Amino acid sequence: MIDQLTIDKIRDTAQILDVVGEFVSLRRRGQNYIGLCPFHSDKNPSFYVSPSKNICKCFSCGEGGDPVNFLMKHEQMNYMEAIRWLGKKYGIEIQEKEQTDEERAAQTAREGMMNLNDFAMQTFEKDLYETEEGKTIGLAYFRERGLQDETIRRFHLGYALESKTDFASRALRAGHKREYLLDPTENRKEGVGLCYGDDPQKTPVCRFAGRVIFPFHTLSGKPVAFGGRILQRVDHAFKKYVNSPESMVYHKGNLLYGIFQAKNEMAKRDKCFIVEGNIDVLSMSQAGFLNVVASAGTALTTNQIHIIQRFTKNVTLMFDGDDAGIRASLKTIDLLLLEGMNVKLLLLPDGNDPDSFCRQHTTEELEKFFADNEQDFISYKTAMLLQDAAHDPLKRSQVVQNIVQSIALIGDPIMSSLYLRETSQHLHVSEEALMQAIRTQKRSNYAAELRRMEIDQRREEAREQREQEVNGKEAPLATETTLPETSTPVDTSSTPNPVQPASAARPSNRASLLTDRFERNIVQNLVRHGGETFTFRWTESVPDENGRDFQEVQHEEDWRVVDFIGTELYSDHIVFQHPTYAKMLQMAIDASANPEEEFDSVRFFTRVPDEEVRQVALDLVDDRYNAMGIAENQEDLNTLIPRCLLELKEAIIRMNITNLRQQLRSPGADYNSILQQLSELTEIKKQLDKALGERIITSG
């Protein structure tokens, strides 16, 4: 195990911008950075990175955290693996203590498989250039395809020798475990499938023997799988192409060929070309189009689209003239649209694929052809579907409906409107009729999504019920499923769509619902700025020397945010109604009890053992929908802290006034007492409203 001092040093050194930037394309927005979330289908950038707070946060799916949390989620690492990764990145020497057998086994398995893949890539690459067989067969093939050494080395292409057991023998001699070489099984999850062979007395057979090798890399450049193409034997006993099986470190639907080499150029050009084969990627890259990837012979998956989204929303699908392939692309187009991508299509002349076309033309000729022949999906889909429709009204109606289904998938209303207008012109159908059809389709899509959510929720309830029964616990009675609310009550005057932290479950009593957002604003500032100092300014009416006239005197006093919030709430006998926020307030007051010691509120809250508090803190610390605004400078903080407390007090007074007015309608009410209280509260409310109004003017 790694000692705690070293862990603390690594966590204090690691910078979130450095770490996230390895995997996500980010652009600056104010003091923070923003990009597409790597953890869910993100149609609009909702993933924020805050260098000053050293955390990241997605405001759609809720994932986020510090550099360690990000690595654990993104790279499927455990805690210690993430610490080691960061230690290596920042050159921090790690002194380890003894690990438990279980911890050692889990770490060793993953590291062993990754090391084996790296060994395999280096071996295949070395054999391509340094063996006679590799040079005369593998290297000759690549050069026959027009690939230059720079391209071959950039993509770490290789060759596996014909000898069936050569690779396994070398791997075993190098100390790699036999079980890691083999396919994973139901009973044994370890294994990357480089070889096969059940007889423990025999050397395993290399899956890729006699083939040229195409490594698949993760976004960070680690080889996790391989594709192999046979060159000399073409009989039916051998498949032309073979690929690594899925394993603990490789899932084919989550990876794209060439993504590691293409990611920077994709972000730079804000565009991605998607082709079908590995050789297409290599040839286009060599021709100067570095922003190209391939789905490696499988239909494009949602997860693969999410990877592309981290770097660009603009994709161009490239196809040859094969009619079946073009028609199969229609489903891919809809999937891309559903994920919020901007889709273009590029059809190459008959008889050409990206590889052959690139080898026949210069970079300048290719750039011109691509620019002149790219078309949007409406033009492409209309032309494709109308081929069969001819003058048949029924078929033309089906074409319209097919295109309407695609447009209804587009979330951007401006883009949807543009496509609607273009479809109207292409198909000679009124925009009004198309709009009605799109609305109908969207309602159908929404209903289907709600139904899917309901089914998923029922399945989850059934699963939990079965688990409780298996564990011998009494299962709760099945209840009618209630879909989650789609929105949270908000202050529409200050923000279009503030997000309530999912982990901060809201109490059901009415008082807390009315004050919830104001308590949240206070806790948000407590988390963000608790240990910072601000200047509290107020005005006092002081009588003159004769005691007749009054003059306004300005006062200033420096406060720590946590001390000011605690003092103000205590002096007015205000207790938070939201249990999580009340807990966080008390935790902050306790942790900052010594005013001589620095109180780093973000560090404190994002590292507390309480999982609920930690998640709420992550939600609050970089909430882009912050209803009270963000303190970007000291003057903002001077205004923001008193204001959030005033708003809570005003909300409580308003709520009490409403309750008193309701009591006036009750038989037997003490009218004189209630009216007296109403009078006093109304006067306090006027003072609060005045103070809030002055602060709005001042802060404006």
Q: Which residues pair with 371 in a beta bridge?
A: none
Spatial contact of 125 and 157, defined as CB atoms under 8 Å apart: yes
Tokens 């070398």 map to which residue?
A: 170
- Both 72 and 170 in one domain: the answer is no
Look at residues 625, 664, 628 and name the one whose alpha carbon lies nearest to residue 643: 628
| Last residue of one domain, picked from the residues 89, 112, 143 | 89
Tokens 């084919």 map to which residue?
A: 252
DSSP string, 490-509: --TTT-S-----TTSPPPSS
Sign of CA dihedral 68, 73, 78, 84: negative
Instruction: Please give the pLDDT value at position 629.
Output: 45
Instruction: Please give the pLDDT value at position 634.
Output: 62
- Both 184 and 56 in one domain: the answer is no
- Our count of domains for the chain comes to 3
Q: Which residues pair with 216 in a beta bridge?
A: 225
Neighbours of 304 (CB within 10 A): 22
Spatial contact of 529 and 634, defined as CB atoms under 8 Å apart: no
- Both 112 and 67 in one domain: the answer is no
Say if 109 falls within a structural domain: yes
Q: How far apart are the first and last CA of the chain?
A: 54
Cα dihedral 250, 255, 258, 261, rounded to 10, equals: -90
| Last residue of one domain, picked from the residues 200, 218, 250 | 250
- Both 639 and 519 in one domain: the answer is yes
- Both 567 and 680 in one domain: the answer is yes
Say if 415 falls within a structural domain: no
Work out the burial of residue 448: count CB atoms within 10 Å of its CB; fewer than 13 is exposed, 13-18 middle, 19 or more buried: exposed
Neighbours of 321 (CB within 10 A): 13
| Last residue of one domain, picked from the residues 250, 277, 301 | 250
- Both 170 and 245 in one domain: the answer is yes
Spatial contact of 312 and 272, defined as CB atoms under 8 Å apart: yes
Instruction: Please give the pLDDT value at position 478.
Output: 32
- Both 532 and 643 in one domain: the answer is yes
Instruction: Please give the pLDDT value at position 487.
Output: 29
Instruction: Please give the pLDDT value at position 219.
Output: 81
- Both 577 and 620 in one domain: the answer is yes
Say if 84 falls within a structural domain: yes
Tokens 């005691």 map to which residue?
A: 547
SS3 state of residue 482:
coil
Cα 84–88–93 angle (5° rounding)? Answer: 85
Say if 620 falls within a structural domain: yes
- Both 56 and 200 in one domain: the answer is no
Spatial contact of 192 and 117, defined as CB atoms under 8 Å apart: yes
Which amino acid is located at 618 in the chain?
Answer: L
Instruction: Please give the pLDDT value at position 89.
Output: 85
Say if 94 falls within a structural domain: no
245 CB-near residues (< 8 Å, 6+ apart): 183, 184, 193
Work out the burial of residue 301: count CB atoms within 10 Å of its CB; fewer than 13 is exposed, 13-18 middle, 19 or more buried: middle
350-389 pLDDT per residue, tens: 778 899 999 999 999 999 999 999 988 787 777 777 776 6
Where would I find the beta strands (DSSP E) of 363-428? Answer: 375-376
Say if 557 falls within a structural domain: yes
Q: The CATH number of the domain where 44 resides is what?
A: 3.90.580.10
Instruction: Please give the pLDDT value at position 672.
Output: 65
Spatial contact of 226 and 195, defined as CB atoms under 8 Å apart: no
Say if 347 falls within a structural domain: no
Parts of the chain with a pLDDT under 70: 1, 5, 96-99, 103, 232-238, 296-297, 321-328, 388-390, 411, 413, 442-514, 540-551, 570-571, 595-596, 622-635, 667-669, 671-672, 693-700
97-109 pLDDT per residue, tens: 666 777 677 777 8
- Both 645 and 684 in one domain: the answer is yes
Spatial contact of 26 and 49, defined as CB atoms under 8 Å apart: yes
Say if 59 falls within a structural domain: yes
CA–CA separation, 244 and 227 (whole Å)? 7
Look at residues 228, 225, 221, 229 and name the one whose alpha carbon lies nearest to residue 251: 225
Joined tokens for residue 564: 């000011």
Tokens 């654990």 map to which residue?
A: 72
435-473 pLDDT per residue, tens: 878 777 765 665 555 455 556 556 666 666 666 665 554
Q: The CATH number of the domain where 180 resides is what?
A: 3.90.980.10
Q: Which domain holds residue 225?
A: 100-250
Instruction: Please give the pLDDT value at position 490.
Output: 28
- Both 80 and 190 in one domain: the answer is no
- Both 521 and 611 in one domain: the answer is yes
CA–CA separation, 476 and 513 (whole Å)? 28
Instruction: Please give the pLDDT value at position 501.
Output: 34
CA–CA separation, 33 and 35 (whole Å)? 7
Instruction: Please give the pLDDT value at position 157.
Output: 97
